[in-house]
Structure 1
Amino acid sequence: MIEDWLQACLKGLATIFLHPVFYFSVFLSILTGYLRIKRERNDFHVRIHDMFQELRFLFPQGIVWGLILSLITIGTGLVIPFASLLLIGVLTILLAVTFHFRLLSPAYSFGLAFFILFFLHGSDVELPFFKEMFANLDRPVYAGLSLLLGLLLIAEGSLIGRNGPEKVSPKLTVSKRGFTVGSYVSSKIWLIPMFVLVPGGSLPAPFEWWPVFSAGSTYVSPLFVPFLLGFSREIKGTLPQREIRVYGKKVLLLGALITVLSVIGNWYPILSIIAVIIAMLGRELITYFTNAADENLPFYFSRSKLGVRILGVIPYSPADKMGLEMGEVVTKMNGVVVRDEREFYEALQKNRAHCKLEVVGNNGQIRFAQRALFEGEHHELGILFVEGMKAGKEWAV
């Protein structure tokens, strides 16, 4: 029996290359990188990260979570009807083309699919292609879908907390008073490829208690299905790393709650419906209250009375090698007090061989950063500042 399962899983691995979401996610990652670079060049006349930065986030962590969730779904006998997977795939692509990647949360794609299935099951509505698929649906599918939703929400929260703060992109925007200020954009998508059991096939239940979460059949087939998750946030009032990590923890806790309710929902189906409603409302409320709190804060990346605030640091630049970070304030350059970008630039020109910066760190402590300068790089430290000028007119120094 074990050999039959291993052989079926190996065959199931090939199904990911037949899934349009797999190819769509790669295209979407590259397109997102291109659009980000276009915006960065418009704001700063230089790109911060290369075009394939988003693509590098697409697979690594997603594969790890795919392995974890595959072990859970196979171990618990979680069976999801093929019609559900097909509907989730279609909804994922439709939500992705809006470029509001937060809508790629499983709370929305799974939630919408759940209630579409709930409406179609037992109704007189007939879809030509889905007629036979929906005819095989029964009540246990609700617990399976809500449980998989909860597990993916846990994965989403973990991915947001770990990957969301990395390689964020600076952006220039105009405040209500007409000043140019800075913000940060985090836009990530992750592909979680995992085994999902579908009804039918020739694999019998390996244990008496298995499957726990079934769709009415003990004979199943494993499919390797990619689930696309996304996250997008613009942060204005604080350092992006702090806010995004807190955001991720909230999503993870929501996922844990939905998972617990879904497990109980296997015996009390009404809880599965309640769990999906809580997932959709909870995910939306997390975004709403986080955005509202950020909007009520003053712009973090704006003019500072202490000196010039660093909006961003270009990777691998001299500034990056000096350990300068976003949000820090440069108070002195080569011993000269600087109050704006032009004074900083003028002080930089006084010593072509060396630069020494006095910096107020994000912890409020004063520190010094210094580095020898080589011919041709004295005016290209790789620091992005924000000045009270029109967006698109700032320049990197």
Structure 2
Amino acid sequence: MTFVWLMELLKGTGKLLLHPLFYYFFFIAAYLGVSRVKRERQNFHTRAEDAFFELRQLLPTGLIIGLVLSVITIVSGLVIPFALVIVIGVMTLLLSIPVRARLLSPVYAVGSAFFVLIFTAGQDWGIPVIGKYFESIEDQIYPSVAILLALLVIGEGILIRTNGVKGSSPKLTKSRRGQTVGVHEVKRLWMLPVFLLIPGEVLEPPFSWWPVFEMGNQLYSLMLVPFAVGIQQQIQGKLPKEAIRMHGGRVLGLGVLVLAVAVVGYWFPVASIAAVALAMVGRELIYLVQRVRDENRPFYFSKQNQGVMILGVIPGSPAAKMDLQVGELVTKVNGIQVKDEKSFYEAIQRNAAHCKLEVLDTKGQIRFVQRALYEGDHHQLGILFVQDEKKWDSAAV
């Protein structure tokens, strides 16, 4: 039996390469990376992370979380109709058209597919090839779908809290008073591959070649389905890591609440509908509340009289090697008080071989960092901060 399960897992993993969304998610991640680099170069004449950053973040953490969710779904015996897999794929493609990463949350793709399934189940729509998969859907599958959605929302919350804080992008914008200020934006896509138990008897031609196995006198197939998890959040009133972790925590809490309601669906089927509706409404409320609250806060990254606010740090630069952090305030460079870009640059040039900084950290504590400078090092240590008005306007042209 163990050998059979192992072979099914290997076959299911190999079939992932046949799923068109697997490649489509790579394309979207690449597009997000190129777009981010283009915007950063317009703002700062350089980029923070390279264009492949989003591609590197697409899979690793998602694979681990997906494996955990796969074990839960298989052990708990969640059976997902093949028709749902088809509709989720279609809804994911439709939601990706506006290229708004937040719409690629599993809440919207799986939630909308759930309601499509309710209205199409048992109907003969005359759709070639796939129409018969909708005719064979039974009511008892709805609690399984609601629980799957809850697990995916929990996985989304964990991804945002653990991986979303990595590499938020600095950005320049205008305040209501027309002043140049800084914000941070996280626009990320993850792939969450999850093994799903599919009723084997429904996989007739053209899917009859798909491997099936018997369990409890029933035929099943394991299918590794890639789910998209996206986040798009702009942060102006807090440190980006703090705001993103808080956002992820709220999504995680929503997932736990939806799971509790979804489990009740095994006894009261209407609870499954309530769970999916709660997930969709709750996810949208989390986004809207975060956006409204953040827009009502003063800009965290604005010009300061007592120093230069660090809006971003270029990876691998002298600033990164000195462990300078986003949100810290550089008050002195080589013993010289700095207040803007010009004075910062001039103070660095006072000693081309060595740099000593006095920094006010995010907790209000003063610390000193220093480092020898070498030929080829970034002339401004690799710090990104709020640009002068004229410089930003010329870069944005």
Which TM-score bucket, shorter chain as reference?
over 0.9
Q: 1:324 to 1:10 in 2, by over 3 A?
A: closer
Counterpart in the other structure of 2:147: 147
Displacement of 1:369: 1.5
- For 2:320, give the aligned amino acid: D
Counterpart in the other structure of 1:357: 357
Q: 1:63 to 1:378 in 2, by over 3 A?
A: closer
| Counterpart-to-counterpart distance in 1, 2:111 and 2:75 | 24
Counterpart in the other structure of 2:96: 96
Counterpart in the other structure of 1:325: 325
Displacement of 1:123: 5.2
The 5 A counterparts of 1:243-322 are 243-322=243-322
CA contact under 8 A between 1:179 and 1:388: conserved in structure 2?
no
Counterpart in the other structure of 1:234: 234
SS of the residue corresponding to residue 358 of structure 1 reads: strand
Q: 1:5 to 1:325 in 2, by over 3 A?
A: closer
Gaps of 5+ in 2: 202-211
Displacement of 1:227: 1.1
The 5 A counterparts of 1:154-173 are 154-173=154-173
| Counterpart-to-counterpart distance in 2, 1:67 and 1:356 | 47
Q: Output one character per residue of 1:147-176: Cα deviation in whole Å (capped at 9) or x when no partner.
A: 100000000000000001101111111111
Q: Does 2:339 correspond to 1:339?
A: yes
Counterpart in the other structure of 1:203: 213
Displacement of 1:127: 3.5
Displacement of 1:378: 7.2
CA contact under 8 A between 2:44 and 2:387: conserved in structure 1?
no
CA contact under 8 A between 1:92 and 1:104: conserved in structure 2?
yes
SS of the residue corresponding to residue 181 of structure 1 reads: strand
| Counterpart-to-counterpart distance in 2, 1:79 and 1:378 | 56
Displacement of 1:191: 1.0
Counting aligned pairs with the same residue, the percent is 50
Q: Output one character per residue of 1:309-357: Cα deviation in whole Å (capped at 9) or x when no partner.
A: 1111111111111121111111112212122111111222222222211
CA contact under 8 A between 2:329 and 2:361: conserved in structure 1?
yes
SS of the residue corresponding to residue 204 of structure 1 reads: strand
| Counterpart-to-counterpart distance in 2, 1:378 and 1:92 | 42
CA contact under 8 A between 2:348 and 2:380: conserved in structure 1?
no
Greater CA deviation, 375-384 or 355-364?
Answer: 375-384
| Counterpart-to-counterpart distance in 1, 2:222 and 2:376 | 59
Displacement of 1:389: 0.5
Counterpart in the other structure of 1:18: 18
Q: Does 2:63 correspond to 1:63?
A: yes
| Counterpart-to-counterpart distance in 1, 2:283 and 2:247 | 10
Greater CA deviation, 333-342 or 74-83?
Answer: 333-342
- For 1:6, give the aligned amino acid: L
SS of the residue corresponding to residue 218 of structure 2 reads: coil
Gaps of 5+ in 1: 207-216
**TM-score normalized with structure 1 length:** 0.92
| Counterpart-to-counterpart distance in 2, 1:142 and 1:391 | 57
Counterpart in the other structure of 1:136: 136
SS of the residue corresponding to residue 226 of structure 2 reads: strand
Displacement of 1:218: 3.1
| Counterpart-to-counterpart distance in 1, 2:177 and 2:168 | 26
Displacement of 1:203: 2.8
- For 1:265, give the aligned amino acid: G
Counterpart in the other structure of 2:206: none
| Counterpart-to-counterpart distance in 2, 1:2 and 1:360 | 58
SS of the residue corresponding to residue 264 of structure 2 reads: helix
In the alignment of these two chains, the number of paired residues is 385
SS of the residue corresponding to residue 238 of structure 2 reads: coil
Counterpart in the other structure of 1:214: none
The 5 A counterparts of 1:7-86 are 7-86=7-86
The 5 A counterparts of 1:101-116 are 101-116=101-116
CA contact under 8 A between 1:74 and 1:197: conserved in structure 2?
yes
| Counterpart-to-counterpart distance in 1, 2:169 and 2:347 | 28
Greater CA deviation, 359-368 or 94-103?
Answer: 94-103
Displacement of 1:237: 1.0
